Amino acid sequence: MPLAKSYKSQLDIMIEELNIEDEVRLLHMLMFPDIIRKEKREIEEDLLWESLETALEIALDYVVDMRVKEGIILKQDMESKIFKIQEELFIIEKRSL
C-alpha cells in the first residue's frame, strides 16, 4: 500500500499544480505497475496429481460404463431392425411365389 499512497499523493500534487479539474480514481491507480502484486503459489505436483488421479479415474470409469450401455442399446436397436427387415423379406418372398 505504501507505493499506492505515494502514487496517489504525486497525482494529487500534479492535479493541483497543473490546475487540472479531475480527481484521482482507482482506475488511474491501477494503471501503475506493481500497485497490485500477484503472489505465485507453488503447487506440489504430487499432491495435485493425487487429487486429480482419483477424479479422473472415476470420470473415465463413468465414460466407459456409458459407452458399454450405449453399445448394448445400439445392438438391441440394430437387432430389432434386422428382425423387421427379415420379416418383410419373408412376406415379399411369399408374395413372389
- Mean pLDDT, all residues of the chain: 88
Please indicate whether residue 21 or residue 88 has the higher confidence score (pLDDT).
88
Tell me which DSSP letter residue 25 carries.
-
| Residue position matching grid coordinates 496517489 | 8
Q: 72 vs 11, which has greater pLDDT? A: 72
pTM, rounded to two decimals: 0.45
Per-residue confidence (pLDDT) for residue 11, from 0 to 100:
84
In tens, the pLDDT along 24-65 reads 878 877 787 777 776 777 778 888 888 899 999 999 999 999
What is the biggest distance separating any 2 CA atoms in the chain, rounded to whole angstroms?
110
Query: By percentage, how much of the chain surpasses pLDDT 90?
Result: 44
**3-class DSSP assignment, residue 19:** coil
